[in-house]
Amino acid sequence: LRQSGLGKSTLMNTLFKSKVSRNKSVQSNPEERIPKTVEIKSISHDIEEKGVRMKLTVIDTPGFGDQINNENCWQPIMKFINDQYEAYLQEEININRKKRIPDSRVHCCIYFIPPTGHCLRPLDVEFMRRLSKVVNIVPVIAKADTLTLEERDSFKQTIREELRANGIDVYPQKEFDEDAEDRMINDKIREMIPFAVVGSDQEYQVNGKRLLGRKTKWGTIEGKRTYFLNLLTHMQNIKDITGSIHYETYRVRRLNESNGHLESLLGSLPVKRATVFW
Interface residues with Mg ion (CB under 5 A)? Answer: 8-9, 62
Residue pair 106/136 in contact (Cβ under 8 Å)? The answer is no
Q: Which stretch binds ligand GDP (CB under 6 A): 2-10, 31-39, 75-83, 95-103?
A: 2-10
At residue 109's C-alpha, the angle toward residues 243 and 167, to 5°, is 85
Of 43 and 255, the one with the shorter C-beta distance to ligand GDP is: 43
Q: To the nearest whole angstrom, how small is the minimum distance from the Cβ of residue 9 to Mg ion?
A: 3
For Mg ion, the closer CB: 61 or 186: 61
Give yes or no for residue 67 binding ligand GDP (CB under 6 A). Answer: no
124 binds ligand GDP (CB under 6 A): no
Q: Which residue type is seen at 75? A: Q
Please, what is the minimum distance in Å from the beta carbon of residue 214 to Mg ion? 17
Of 89 and 110, CB closest to ligand GDP: 110
Q: Which residue's CB is nearer to ligand GDP, number 9 or number 220?
A: 9
Q: Work out how close the CB of 74 gets to Mg ion at its nearest, in angstroms, rounded to a whole number.
A: 18
Identity of the residue, 15 or 101, whose beta carbon is nearer to ligand GDP in the bound complex: 15
Q: Is 215 in the site for ligand GDP (CB under 6 A)?
A: no
Q: Does 4 bind ligand GDP (CB under 6 A)?
A: yes
CA 55/CA 104 separation, integer angstroms: 11
Based on the shown chain and the rule CB under 6 A, indicate whether residue 143 belongs to the binding site for ligand GDP. Answer: yes
Interface with ligand GDP, residue 146, by CB under 6 A: yes
* Residue 104's binding partner out of Mg ion, ligand GDP, none, with CB under 5 to 8 Å set by partner kind: none
Q: Which residues bind ligand GDP (CB under 6 A)?
A: 4-10, 143, 145-146, 198-199, 214
